Structure formats: C-alpha cells, structure tokens
Amino acid sequence: MKYFSLVLGIFLLSCTSNSPTEIHVKSRNKVINVYDKVVEIPMEEVLISGFANICLQNEFLIIKDSRAPGKQIHLFDKNTFKHITSTTYIGQGPNEITNLLRIVPDGKQRRFFAVDGGKRKLFSFDLDSLLVDSNYVFKTKYNLLEDYAGDFIYINDTLSIAQFLDIDSKTNRFEVYTGQWNMDSGKFTKGYDNPLAKKKRFTFCASEELGLYVSCYSRYDLMTICNFDGSLKYNVYGPNWNEDITNTCHYSMEVCFVKDKIFAAYSGEDHRSREFHPTQIHVYSTEGEYIKTLKVGYHITGYCYDKENHRLILDLNDDIQFGYLDLEGII
C-alpha cells in the first residue's frame, strides 16, 4: 500500500510538472541596478503622510492619503507633478468619507471611484466637475456587499475584476478570491484558485487590452495568470516556492502590466520587519517567462505605470517619498 501511494505521488507530481500551465522558474539572476535612475518627485505644496497610495487617471496622478489631517484625495499633473486640487475630508458626514480604502480609476468616462470601508459604499467622482468646482460633492455609485474585500479594477458596470472574501461563519476565518464582478447585478463569479496555496493573500492587476489578470501571492513565491473569464493560463512558481507557510513575505505591495510585460514587486524578507517592503521588481512576460529583475534600491510601498511617458511612478518608504523611473532602454 505504501509502495502504491509513493508511485501515485510521483505520478501526480510528474503530471503537474509537465502540465503546460505549470511554470517553474529556477533562478532570477538577471539583475539590473536602476537605483541611480530613480528621480525624486518633490511634493512641496501638499503635506502627505507615509500611508499614501497612488494611481493614474487620464492626465492626473491621484494620491490617496487617509491619514491626512485635511483633505484625503490629491490630484497632480502627471507630467509636471504640479498640484492641481484636493478634495474630501474624513468624517461621518454626508459629504465625507469615513475610511478611504482605495481609489479606482475609470479613464473612459473621466471619473474615479472611492471605496469607503466605513460606510460600505462606493462613491463616484467626476473629474471635470471636481476641477472647476471647489465645493464639488461626490455621488454614491454602489452599496458594497458584506463580502467585498475592497479592491477591484473597473472595466465597465457589468465587468470588473475584483477581490471578494469567503468567510467561514463558524470560525470567522476568511480567504480572499479573485473573479468577475458585475456591478449592475451584484453577481461575483469566482475565478481560478490555486489549491496549493493554503493562505490566500495577494495583490492583483488586470489588463483589458490583453484580457488578462494576474495575482501575486504574499506568502508564497507564486504568480497566477488568468484570462478574464477566470480560467487559468499559467501558474508561475518562483525559485523560493514552498507549499508551507513561513514568515517570508514574497510578492507584496503592487503588481502591474507594463505594455505586454508583468511588473511584480518582490520582497523575500520577514513580513514582520520593516525590510518586508520590496526593493526589487521582477519582470515577466504574459506567458510566465522570467525576463529580468529591476533592483530599485528603495523600499517600495506602491507604484503605477504611466503609459504615455513610459515610466513607473513610485511610492516609497525611504529617503525619498515619491519618485519616477524612466523605462526607456530598460524595457
């Protein structure tokens, strides 16, 4: 019986290893040091805390700062980084946001969404109205479901790629899943879930142009690339892959598409220390092939891709707070 179990285990492992969806990266040693290429972005006009998050919307860089003593959302010109306007105070009032979790862009309609975890609402901000009216009041777009995890990439009202919670009512434990969210109907369709990952915590991003989304796991050296319908395209296991949960933080903070490449910030440090903030970004193809590693040298807390200027905008927890990295000649 033991012999049969051993043979069966070897057979299953062999099948998994030879599967076209399973990619095992043996090393990530093509390292390019880009530390000297990072240019600081001075934010002299607006005081921003160390708990900010950034995103790009049309011609604007938007900085969310839920710890700000004043307004929580700041708009800057993404080309010159000049401050344009700020909006929305923290509070329980009708025109305030209680717990600002995330800003989600909708570039097609020149608006962005603000996720309020306290009021469990999704608010909509019209960019053009906000720019001309200092007293602009946002609108309620959606009442969030109880199992909504607070992050999504908006495509249209019937399609977003979103994170949702699966909560065990008996133990109150939860797991996080990614899939399609129809905002009109409220329906969530769960996408592929890697069964080897016992604790599901990850960052993700989506590309409408490529029809793909990618999830990078924080407690495993694992990346899953999926089609928009939730079907698996590739599981990408890094050289530090281990099925056991350790104190190592692997992928953290952000992952994004840069043209037809995947940029994933990687830590590899103890998640309980300050060093868990990644200082490097692994670059993969959408076929799961490792290409190179960008050694940024600064501790990264977030970043986004500026397509028009072909550069990364960096949110940092280091000697400088914000910077950009020109990708010309790098990718």
pLDDT for the residue numbered 2: 42
Q: What is the DSSP letter of 308?
A: T
Cα(27)–Cα(31) distance, integer angstroms:
11
The answer to whether residue 223 scores a pLDDT higher than 80 is yes
Among the residue ranges 219-233, 247-261, 317-331, the one predicted with the least confidence is 247-261
Residue 155 CB burial class (10 angstroms; 0-12, 13-18, ≥19): middle
- 47 vs 115: CA distance, rounded Å: 22
> At a CB cut-off of 8 Å and minimum separation 6, what does 104 contact?
55, 112, 113, 114, 115, 152, 153, 154
In angstroms, rounded to a whole number, what is the distance separating the alpha carbons of residues 256 and 301?
13
The domains of the chain, with CATH numbers, are 23-326 (2.130.10.10)
Span of 71-85, 218-232, 241-255, 292-306 with lowest mean pLDDT? 241-255
The answer to which of 41-55, 77-91, 262-276, 303-317 has the lowest mean pLDDT is: 262-276
- Confidence at residue 9, expressed as pLDDT on a 0 to 100 scale: 44
Chain mean pLDDT for the chain? 88
Q: What percent of the chain has pLDDT over 70?
A: 92
**Buried b vs exposed e over 201-226: b needs ≥16 C-beta within 10 Å?**
ebbbbbbbebebbbbbbbbbbbbbbb
Is the pLDDT at 52 greater than 80? The verdict is: yes
Q: Among 121-130, 180-189, 248-257, whose mean pLDDT is lowest?
A: 248-257
Mean pLDDT of 253-276: 86
Residue 246's pLDDT is 79
Question: Residue 18's pLDDT is what?
Answer: 66
190-218 average pLDDT score: 92
Nearest 10 degrees: CA dihedral of 79, 85, 91, 97?
A: -50
